[in-house]
């Protein structure tokens, strides 16, 4: 295998993994606050559409990314309103959000299926990108790839290094106790859901702004569900999201390359692998939970908070 092919594969993996990192890190924060939002796929596809539309009309990547963030946030606010104020069932509401997002984007995007845009290109950091091998590998990636890594760091920092993060986690673990000592459960959760929506929107937009310069209905093709699996895979630990996303994305890209080289590994087995890993981690979490050595699963995940006072 020559050097340029290797670099090509690494870049391919970074492109395939980044949408998953964005969507999963957003959902991770949401679930840490005790809310299960199954609408990731729906929020992603709306972000993909809005990012595409704005890039098409303005040609400004910054505005396009902003539109994707706001679009994901807007649609997630529906979920937030329904679950936090009207206390609807989170699973059902999340599923409805996915169906709504897919349908809405297909409808609103009808006029854009025949258009193309200018993709957001990779940046070459001066000097550093000229270092042989390491340069193209680390210092010549797409700006949004760097942003994804930064977001993971920021979420980790927020959750574990700030007071608000501690409050958010405590709300996720025991909303009644958090409420009793005076924290506004609904407000924290509302904000977390909006953040999750923004990240999902950005993840979706990565597909239509970086990966392919087209808009197509259902172009997220199930990545929202993979992101949900990733949060479990990461056992709600931010940095493990990166690991999981690289595993999921890496297997996708590597098996395509392996086929080109005629390496005989069954593609079906390979694509099963990440899911299998997720199941194994779920089982081991359960065992650790039984032995009371686990502190990561938010105790109130998916439970409705009904303030009694």
Partner 1 sequence: MSNSRFTSILKLSFLSVVLAFTGNVSADPVKAAFVYIGPTGDHGWTYAHDEGVKYAKEKLGDDVIMTTIESVAENSDSERVITSLARKNDIVFTTSFGYMNPTVKVAGRYPDVKFEHATGYIRPDNVSTYSARFYEGRHVIGKIAGRMTKSNVIGYIASFPIPEVIRGINSAFLAARSVNPDVQIKVVWVYTWYDPGKEADAANALIAQGADILMQHTDSTAAMTVAEEKGIHAFGQASNMREWGPNAQLTGIINDWGPYYADRIAAVRDGTWASTDTFAGVQQGMVKFAPMANMPTDVKNEAMQTIIDLSMGAIHPFTGPINKQDGSPWLAEGETPPNFPDLLTMDFYVEGIDSKYPN
Nearer to partner 1, 95 or 282 (CB): 95
Nearer to partner 1, 211 or 296 (CB): 211
Among 60, 162, 164, 259, binds partner 1 (CB under 8 A): 259
The DSSP-derived string for the chain is: --HHHHHHHHHHHHHHHHHHHHHHHHHHHHHHTT---TTHHHHHHHHHHHHHHHHHHH--HHHHHHHHHHHHHHHHHHHHHHHHTS---HHHHHHHHHHHHHHHHHHHTGGGTT---PPPPP---TTGGGSTTHHHHHSSS-HHHHHHHHHHHHHHHHHHHSHHHHHHHHHHH-HHHHHHTT--HHHHHHHHHHHHHHHHHHHHHHIIIII-S---TTTTTTHHHHHHHHHHHTTT-HHHHHHHHHHHHHHHHHHHHHHHTT----HHHHHHHHHHHHHHHHHHHHHHHHTT----S-TTTTPPP----
Among 63, 119, 138, 277, binds partner 1 (CB under 8 A): 119
Binding segment for partner 1 among 66-74, 215-223, 280-288, 294-302 (CB under 8 A)?
A: 215-223
Among 36, 178, 193, 219, binds partner 1 (CB under 8 A): 219
Binding segment for partner 1 among 9-17, 72-80, 88-96, 158-166 (CB under 8 A)?
A: 9-17
* Size of residue set near partner 1 by CB under 8 A: 39
Q: Does 58 bind partner 1 (CB under 8 A)?
A: no
Encoded tokens for 206: 């990565």
Question: Angle, to 10 degrees, between the axis of helix 3-32 and the axis of helix 163-173?
Answer: 70
Q: Does 216 bind partner 1 (CB under 8 A)?
A: yes
Binding segment for partner 1 among 6-14, 83-91, 175-183, 236-244 (CB under 8 A)?
A: 6-14
Nearer to partner 1, 262 or 291 (CB): 262
Q: Does 271 bind partner 1 (CB under 8 A)?
A: yes
Q: Does 74 bind partner 1 (CB under 8 A)?
A: no
Encoded tokens for 234: 């990461």
Among 140, 211, 235, 294, binds partner 1 (CB under 8 A): 211
Q: Does 144 bind partner 1 (CB under 8 A)?
A: no
Binding segment for partner 1 among 102-110, 122-130, 155-163, 164-172 (CB under 8 A)?
A: 102-110
Q: Could you list the residues that contact partner 1 (CB under 8 A)?
A: 4-5, 8-9, 12, 15-16, 19, 106, 109-110, 113-114, 116, 119, 207, 211-214, 216-219, 221, 223, 252-253, 256-257, 259-262, 264, 266-268, 271
């Amino acid at each position: 295998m020559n050097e340029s092919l290797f670099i090509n594969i690494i870049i391919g993996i970074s492109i395939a993994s980044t949408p998953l990192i964005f969507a999963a890190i957003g959902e991770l924060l949401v679930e840490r606050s005790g809310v299960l939002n199954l609408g990731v796929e729906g929020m992603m596809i709306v972000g993909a559409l809005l990012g595409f539309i704005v890039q098409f009309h303005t040609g400004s990547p910054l505005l396009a990314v902003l539109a994707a963030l706001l679009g994901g946030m807007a649609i997630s606010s529906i979920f937030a309103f329904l679950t936090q104020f009207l206390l609807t069932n989170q699973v059902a509401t999340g599923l409805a959000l996915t169906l709504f997002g897919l349908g809405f984007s297909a409808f609103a995007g009808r006029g854009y299926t025949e258009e193309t845009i200018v993709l957001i290109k990779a940046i070459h950091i001066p000097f550093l990108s000229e270092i042989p091998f390491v340069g193209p590998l680390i210092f010549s990636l797409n700006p949004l790839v760097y942003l994804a890594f930064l977001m993971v760091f920021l979420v980790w920092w927020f959750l574990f290094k700030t007071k608000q993060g501690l409050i958010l986690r405590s709300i996720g673990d025991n909303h009644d106790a958090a409420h009793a000592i005076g924290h506004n459960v609904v407000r924290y959760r509302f904000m977390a859901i909006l953040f999750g929506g923004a990240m999902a929107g950005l993840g979706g937009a990565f597909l239509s702004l970086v990966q392919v310069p087209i808009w197509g209905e259902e172009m997220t093709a199930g990545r929202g569900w993979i992101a949900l699996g990733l949060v479990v895979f990461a056992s709600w630990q931010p940095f493990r999201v990166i690991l999981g996303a690289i595993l999921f994305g890496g297997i996708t890209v590597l098996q395509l390359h392996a086929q080109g080289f005629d390496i005989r590994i069954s593609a079906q087995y390979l694509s099963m692998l990440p899911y299998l890993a997720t199941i194994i981690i779920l089982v081991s979490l359960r065992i650790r939970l039984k032995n009371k050595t686990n502190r990561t699963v938010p105790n109130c995940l998916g439970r409705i908070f009904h303030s009694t006072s």
